[in-house]
A = this chain, B = another copy of it.
Amino acid sequence: MRRDIFQAIADPTRRAILSLIALQAMTPNALATHFDSSRQAVSKHIKILTECKLIEQKQDGREIYYHFNPEKMKEVDQWIEQFRKMWERRFDQLDQVLLDMKRKKKDK
């Protein structure tokens, strides 16, 4: 059973769940109203998200509120980090091109 964050956010429904929960903690039933699939289907997604610590539960009577855990999402950000400099560098290069164009224009 692979249960890492990348596999967790691979599913569009789970990404939607995360976006919703990030705004406000919700119960499985409340979440399910936002989707076409059944409560159980949503609950399965919730289980996966919980197992990889992207969300956390907090019992309140018979209701369970699921909260978003930003710290875990950081891990994705950290993986992206190795590539970030590449598109930023490309941006710098574009800046350079624009500067060169300006210079040429001035030289005319």
Contact = CB atoms under 8 A, between A and B. Distances in A.
Interface of A: 4, 6-7, 9-10, 12, 15, 18-19, 22, 68, 70-71, 73-74, 76-77, 79-80, 82-84, 86-87, 90
Nearest to A22: B83
A76 B76 contact: yes
A86 B19 CA distance: 12
A80 B77 contact: yes
Contacts of A12: 4, 6
A76 to B, nearest CB: 6
B87 A71 contact: yes
A89 to B, nearest CB: 8
A80 B80 contact: yes
Given A76-B80, A77-B80, 20 more contacts: A4-B12, A6-B6, A6-B9, A6-B12, A6-B15, A10-B10, A18-B83, A22-B82, A22-B83, A68-B83, A70-B83, A70-B86, A70-B87, A70-B90, A71-B87, A71-B90, A73-B83, A73-B87, A76-B76, A77-B77
